Structure 1
């Protein structure tokens, strides 16, 4: 059976001219025209060379069309557009939304990057004794952490940059390790895993770059303390 049905030794089939021949689904009509209107609900592959079509017929099919027409009419009224222009206007709105989201993301990135000055200066003040930058920051979206980390790495030349943030109650981390940092034994994947595990999460990446997340955004501060301690110990061991 194709869909879990159980059949006996003899199976009825349904044939539509030379176009289609299927196993009987239990609904009997003398001819195809008896079923009236047909509204296809879904169609897809269920096995190699086998496709499944789900549809309704008769009154249920008519009700489906009425519902679709009502929805289209409501949408046209909301858009203040004729029915035949609804698709074009909807697609235009979708494109405008994408453009605005892209513009907003760029502005958010610029605003965040503009606040890096104090972190860069704080790092330079202590770089001789602590050549790493580990900070908890406030960002509207976790994806901004990567932009911040790359900018900080470029401006400070720190051996490792670790940023963490509580984004809507979730922990987000990004770790960048320089070539010099990797030679000293630092591994971005291991460091980000340490941070994420403390926040009920996980993640990983390459030795020079990694990112991860966790369920507990309130644990970001403590997680960064653990990472900073691990960095300090690793660099101290490399010098010994």
Structure 2
């Protein structure tokens, strides 16, 4: 592998390693996963309210005949959703504790609601006394209080969920920034090494041109030498000192 390509590969691997290290140090993957769980959890939290409101709505008038079937359907649906909410909340220990608390409040509220409906139905079958009606109103008010308490306990789960969602979004934004930086780094490497390669190629081209020029000069010199063989005359004395030469010899020797 050429030296420049090896350097490019090593630099690219170093950048990717730094990218992965930044992801792990910032705990970005885990936060994104947690944020995704939180998105699902908030949907389950919101899904608690419709059946709870439906249960509360069925007792809007004390004089109406209790619809125990409608209550049972809504209660069953609510328990199913609470079970699903419990399962999804396990990703966050604090949230899971609050959902367990909510589940217990719901169980207590539904049990009292069922008792209220049964008591109301028993009154509907007989002539109710003033004392019975007062007792029914007391139970109804208690059920409303338990409903409001259940809604408050349900809302306790919103804070940790929204906190996880915010952290997940922040992690996603950081991931986008890191990806952009990595892409810019890799593009910069390609541009830099491309320029180095072009510079090396240009230098090699100039060297070839200079070599060709030197070769042309040598060829000219050799041609002149071959053409002037026998024409150059140099006279020397007995000691070997040059005493005279003709112009061709002077051109060849540069004297």
TM-score range, shorter chain: under 0.3
Structure number with higher relative contact order (C-alpha < 8 Å, ≥ 6 residues apart) = 2
TM-score (norm 1): 0.24
TM-score (norm 2): 0.22
Q: Which has the larger radius of gyration?
A: 2
Structure with the bigger percentage of helix: 2
Structure with the bigger percentage of strand: 1
